[in-house]
Amino acid sequence: MKDFAISENPAVQAQLDRLGALSLPSGRLGLDTVRELCARLGNPQDRLPPVFHVAGTNGKGSTCTYLRYILEAEGLTVHSATKPHLVRYNERIRIAGKLIEDDLLAALLKEVLDAGEGLEPSFFEVTTVATFLAYARTPADACVIETGLGGRLDATNVMPTAAVCGIATLGMDHEAFLLAPEDGVPTDPLARIAFEKASIAKPGVPLVTMAYPQVAADSVAETAARIGAPLVMRGRDWEAEIAGSILYRDAHGELPLPLPALPGTHQAENAALAVAMMRHQNAVRVSLGALGKGIVDARWPARLQRLGAGPLTALAGGRTVWLDGGHNPDAGRAIARHLEGQPPVHLIMGMLANKDPSAILKPLADRALSISVVPAPGHDAHKPADFAPFTSLPVGSFATVPEALAALPAEGDVLIVGSLYLAGEVLRLNNEIPD
C-alpha cells in the first residue's frame, strides 16, 4: 500500500510527488536497498546521537512521545521520528525539538531521491534515510526513533546500535506483511509477530519489553538471546502498578510517578515502558523530576484526543467529540476500557479495507448509540455492509465526517475512530494541525 502526502509548499510537493510514485517492488524483502541508499549518502545511520528505538503493535508512538517529553524535561535536545504523519509529512521528522522546515525537507528528499536513482527504494526507505541525514547533520543529545509496521525488515533497523531498544504491546496487525510465509521463522502467528518486533534488538543493547502471553514472551526471549541483547521484561525485571498514580519498581528501586494527561489506562502503561527504557540505558541521565514532568506534559494527537473548538466540532452541537486512530483489536479493547462506565457514544468509523472490520466495532458494540461509516481518505475502505455483522444497530453511510456529524441525533457524545488517515483528515478539518 502506498502512503500519501501533500504540501502547500511547491518545492516540498514536487518531492512528495516523486515520493508518492514509489512503492515496494513486489517480492522484495530485506534491508539491502536501504543499506545501499545509506552507503551512497555516507552512512548517516552510523552518526546519530544516542538512539531510543521502539517497536510494537500498539503504543510505540505513545512510548516515543513519552521518551521525547521526558528527555526534553531534563533540558536535553531531542530528535524524534514517528509515523505515520496525520496532516503534514513534516510530522515524521522532528529535528532538535521542532518539526522539519519545508525548505530543508524539500532539499533532503531531493538529495535522497536523486541518490536512489536505479535502486527503486520505497516511500519508507526514502523517508527513513532522509531522517537519518537530518539527524546526523544536526547536533542533539538523543534520538527517538519509531519503527514502521514491523521491526526486523523495517528500514530503521539498519542502525548498527542504540542506547536502548523497547517493545510496546504485541498483537495481531498488518498480518499480510508480518505473517508472510518464510522459512526459518516461527509458525505461530503471535510468536511470529513477536519475533519480527524483537528483531530490532542489537548486540549488547538492553531490550526493554512489556509482559506478553507466554508464546510471545518465549519468542522475544529467544530472539534477544540469539542477537545477544540483554532482555529487560515487565513482570520479571521491572513492574508498574497503576491506580491513582504509577508506582514503578525495578532492581534500582521504587519510583512514585504521576499519571499521564493522555487519557486511558494504556497510556500509563506506555509511560511506564518509557520509564523502564530510561532506567536501563547509560547514554543520558534523567532525574525523577524530569520523568514525572515528561509523563504529565506529553501530548500525542489522535490517541483518545478530545477535539477542541473548530469548524468540525461546531457541527456537533456542543457535544464532546473524541478522536482515535485505533484500527486493530488491541486498540479496540483499550478504547472500550476508556469508555467503560461512561454513557454510550455515536461511532463515526472509517477503516482501511485490509483491516479487520470487527476489530474496533466488536469491543465497542455495547457502547454505541449509532454507527456511521465514512471513507478513509485516499485509501480503499470498508463499506457499511462489512460492519453490519458485528452490530444490531443500523449502519449508516456518509461521504464525509461533516455529513455524518450533521446527521446525528441531538443527544450523545461522538467517537471518530478506525484509521490514522481518517484521524488526520479530522484534525485538518478542525484546524488542529499537529506541531
Query: Is pLDDT above 60 for 26?
Result: no
pLDDT grade for 83, boundaries at 50, 70 and 90: confident
Model confidence at 333, in pLDDT bands (50, 70, 90)? Answer: confident
Q: Are residues 237 and 310 in the same domain?
A: no
pLDDT tens-digit map of 273-293: 999 999 999 999 999 999 999
| Domain-ending residue, one of 297, 318, 349 | 297
Sheet holding 238-242, edge to edge: 238-242, 246-250, 253-257
CA separation for the pair 112, 97 (Å, rounded): 23
Q: How far apart are the C-alpha atoms of 321 and 406, rounded to whole Å?
A: 13
pLDDT exceeding 70 applies to what percent of the chain? 95
Q: Are residues 74 and 159 in the same domain?
A: yes
Looking at 265, 297, 329, the residue that finishes a domain is 297
The reply to whether 5 falls in a domain is no
Residue 188 lies in domain: 10-297
Q: How confident is the model at residue 25 (pLDDT cuts 50, 70, 90)?
A: low
Identify the pLDDT of residue 1.
42
pLDDT value for 178: 62
* 3 within domain boundaries: no
Number of domains, the chain = 2
Residue keyed to cell 512510548: 63
Say if CB 294 and CB 69 are below 8 A apart: yes
Backbone angles phi, psi at 53, to 5 degrees: -110, 125
Q: Identify the pLDDT of residue 81.
A: 97
Whether residue 149 is found in the same domain as residue 291: yes
Torsion angle, CA of 268/166/327/365, rounded to 10 degrees?
A: -40
Q: With contact defined as beta carbons under 8 Å apart, do 132 and 39 qualify?
A: no
* pLDDT the model gives residue 77: 98
Q: Which residue has the higher pLDDT, 182 or 228?
A: 228
Q: State whether 326 and 284 are in the same domain.
A: no
Using one digit for the tens of pLDDT, what is the confidence trace for 2-15?
556 788 899 999 99
On whether both 408 and 353 belong to a single domain, the answer is yes
Per-residue 3-state assignment (H helix, E strand, C coil) for 313-349: HHHHCCCCEEEECCCCHHHHHHHHHHHCCCCCEEEEE
Cα separation, 410 vs 402, in Å, equals 15
Last residue of a domain, one of 279, 297, 315: 297
The 3-state DSSP class for residue 369 equals strand
Q: Are 390 and 347 in contact (CB under 8 A)?
A: no
277 & 336 share domain: no
Going by pLDDT thresholds of 50, 70 and 90, the confidence category of residue 176 is: low
Q: How many CB atoms lie within 10 A of CB 230?
A: 16
pTM for the full predicted model: 0.92
Task: Residue 89: give its domain's CATH number.
Answer: 3.40.1190.10
- The grid coordinates of residue 68 equal 521525547
Q: Answer yes or no: do 238 and 93 share one domain.
A: yes
- DSSP character for 366? G
On whether both 106 and 224 belong to a single domain, the answer is yes
**Half-sphere exposure of residue 374: CA atoms within 13 angstroms, side-chain side:** 25
Looking at the structure, do residues 310 and 293 belong to the same domain, yes or no?
Answer: no
